[in-house]
Structure 1
Amino acid sequence: MKAAVIYQNSKLPQYVEFPNPEPATENEILVSVKAVAIKNFDKGQASGTHYTSEIPNEKGKVIGSDGVCLLEDGTRVYGIATSGMLAEKATISKDRYVKIPDALDDATAAALPNAVFGAAMALKYKAGIKPGDVVLINGATGFTGRIAVQIAKHYGAGKVIVTGRNLQSLTELLAIGADDMIQVSSDDHQFSRSIEAIQEVTPINIVIDYLWGHTAEIILNQLKGDGGFGNPIQYVSVGSMAGDEIKLSSMILRSSNLQLTGSGLGSWTREEVGELFSSILPEMFQLAAEKKIVLETLSVPIDRINSVWELEVTDGKRLVVTI
């Protein structure tokens, strides 16, 4: 079969002939792949920088972790790969796939799930979102942030505040559910004052953070209490695009009713992952099919993988490779 393969000491995947995968257990099945979204997660696994990554052996490994594929009977599903996914054939687990609505195109179906992992799981299980909650999404102009805005509203958020550097992208978020925006700039004082002003008028209940780094330090400092009774705040770290480490004063934790946690692979229970496949993903696929969740993709064929691997896809879009 043809596949996108990463080799040892190689930064770019190659489009080459590679042996067909074979189911390793009775719980795995062979599928034909149609579309695979390229995420930071996939690039991190391929380069060895993600905490779940494995170094490829001398024979190389197929990249890609999930995507749209066809079962033997032709049923179109989204599945998690047990082999690499960016190939003509892949293996998936029998309990880790979801049927895709007929009205949903391959590219959208491939692009949406990873953003659901990074948004719905954080909002539902880590933050425990309730109707009426005020949600701040730090770094909302990226693909997952845009989905998070829409899911937060779907889950009943009373107000969604978004942050980001690109003013045009922030403005676009107002059209898909955001209620207020704060531009991240080099002026720390202005960013801090904007958070403070919102906190004074509509106290923040949930922070979903895709940036971490210095912006997280500023936000957390504004959540610091004054010794009085404070509203509960769930601060959930999902990404670290602005830096992996921060300085955190223990005074912030002692003075506020703040719970600081993370959402990602390894942080969810077996039951939560089960619900992700049994109910959350099917619901989100249906919302997308009904255009109640909107997203943009850029599709390229698999034989161009070498030239597009390092492509920076901007404006909140997701790169999708078709097979």
Structure 2
Amino acid sequence: MRAIEITEFGGPEVLKVGDVPDPVAGDGQVLITVDHAGINYADTHQVENSYLQASKLPMIPGGEVVGHTADGRRVVALVGSGGYAEKAVAHAPYAWDVPEGVTDGQALALVLQGTTAWHLLKTSTHFQPGESVLVHAGAGGVGSLAIQLAKHWGAGRVIATASSDEKRKQALELGADAAIDGTPEGLKDRIIEANGGKPVDIVLEMVGGPTFDESFAALAKFGRLVTFGAASREAAAPIESGRLMKGSKTVVGFWLADCFGDPRLLGEPLTELFGLVADGALRPIVGGEYKLSEVATAHEDMRARRTVGKLVLDPTH
């Protein structure tokens, strides 16, 4: 089968199309003929071996697929790796039937980024109606869904950051009450100004470095910041215990992989998200589709912040 198999770690330049043997499903697994695969920012870390979990070579990147099983089911599945290919194998509990009316791109947006947004608000920050929420990268896969979920669940005010006027406009169209430039310099002041002169209750942060520092400084008393990425590839300044105590602030980390041990932690949020899409209350944004031979371009576009919403890969071309 055709696949992207990397034999050395690096940037987008190591992503090349090749022919590899078809995968074989073992006990408790299902073989999926892939119609589309998801492309995530985390894949760029996986390919260069800078992710939280070390990668091993040779490797086929790609953590999620949507396609068909031998018995005709249309499923979306988390595969860990192996998604950038014409066929992939998933453990059966992590392959969920896709309801009618949900497109491939929407299903891929929900299975990983949608469940991440769900857990960031429900599990990590214990969001309550009426609270203010700052969403970084509001035009991105997780951010675009987090804006909508926060508004749907009764946020008092949702503020998004984005890197361009076009992306900020999209965040407003998705329901954000304000959209601001996410550049770190002066970010704390812009956040507070966008929140009517008040610090924010919740921050969803995935940039790291000085963006994390400025966001923490903009937290209200009893505020919660959840970090779930480091897109800047920079480390934030250490936070001393006294800075947490003053203002009774909370910093928590989230990594969706920690939910993988219990399929219910993914399946139950996914069922709710599918229902919201069917009701028209949630609109996953599919920002672009790439051919298998164009996956390096997709990674370049993500790293350069040229993309919005969910990116999908067509392994058949």
Using structure 1 for the length normalisation, give the TM-score.
Answer: 0.85
Segment of structure 1 superposing worse, 47-56 or 71-80? 47-56
Corresponding position of 2:310: 318
Unaligned runs of 5+ in 1: 225-229
- The whole-number CA distance in structure 1 between the counterparts of 2:137 and 2:9 is 32
Q: Determine whether 1:4 maps to 2:4.
A: yes
Q: In the comparison of the two structures, how many residue pairs are matched?
A: 309
Corresponding position of 2:47: 46
Corresponding position of 1:121: 119
Per-residue deviation, residues 276-307 of structure 1 (Å, max 9, x unmatched): 21x21122233334443221331123244455
Percent sequence identity is: 24
**Where does 1:5-24 land on structure 2 (aligned, <5 Å)?**
5-8=5-8, 11-24=13-26
Amino acid at match of 1:3: A
- The whole-number CA distance in structure 2 between the counterparts of 1:263 and 1:138 is 15
Identify which of 97, 106, 109 aligns with 1:108: 106
- The whole-number CA distance in structure 2 between the counterparts of 1:2 and 1:269 is 28
Is the partner of 1:169 in helix, strand or coil? Answer: helix
**Where does 1:146-295 land on structure 2 (aligned, <5 Å)?**
146-185=144-183, 187-188=185-186, 191-197=187-193, 204-223=200-219, 230=221, 232-247=222-237, 248-268=239-259, 270-271=261-262, 273-277=263-267, 279-294=268-283, 295=285
Amino acid at match of 1:296: V
Per-residue deviation, residues 248-300 of structure 1 (Å, max 9, x unmatched): 344321211211101114544845x52321x2112223333444322133112
Task: Decide whether aligned partners of structure 1 residues 102 and 196 sit closer, same or farther in structure 2, where only a CA change above 3 A counts.
Answer: closer
- The whole-number CA distance in structure 1 between the counterparts of 2:109 and 2:298 is 16
Corresponding position of 1:36: 37
Deviation at residue 233 of structure 1 after TM alignment: 1.4
- The whole-number CA distance in structure 2 between the counterparts of 1:37 and 1:217 is 31
- The whole-number CA distance in structure 2 between the counterparts of 1:83 and 1:166 is 32
Unaligned runs of 5+ in 2: none
Deviation at residue 82 of structure 1 after TM alignment: 5.5
- The whole-number CA distance in structure 2 between the counterparts of 1:45 and 1:54 is 6
Per-residue deviation, residues 59-105 of structure 1 (Å, max 9, x unmatched): x3322111102122211111011661222221111111211122122
- The whole-number CA distance in structure 2 between the counterparts of 1:266 and 1:300 is 25
Task: Decide whether aligned partners of structure 1 residues 270 and 133 sit closer, same or farther in structure 2, where only a CA change above 3 A counts.
Answer: farther
Task: Decide whether aligned partners of structure 1 residues 154 and 270 sit closer, same or farther in structure 2, where only a CA change above 3 A counts.
Answer: farther
- The whole-number CA distance in structure 2 between the counterparts of 1:178 and 1:33 is 34
Task: Decide whether aligned partners of structure 1 residues 199 and 249 sit closer, same or farther in structure 2, where only a CA change above 3 A counts.
Answer: farther
Aligned-residue CA RMSD in angstroms? 2.5
Is the partner of 1:87 in helix, strand or coil? Answer: coil
- The whole-number CA distance in structure 1 between the counterparts of 2:293 and 2:231 is 29
Segment of structure 1 superposing worse, 165-174 or 86-95? 165-174
Using structure 2 for the length normalisation, give the TM-score.
Answer: 0.87
Q: Is the 8 A contact 1:15 1:303 kept in 2?
A: yes
Larger Rg: 1
Segment of structure 1 superposing worse, 285-294 or 147-156? 285-294
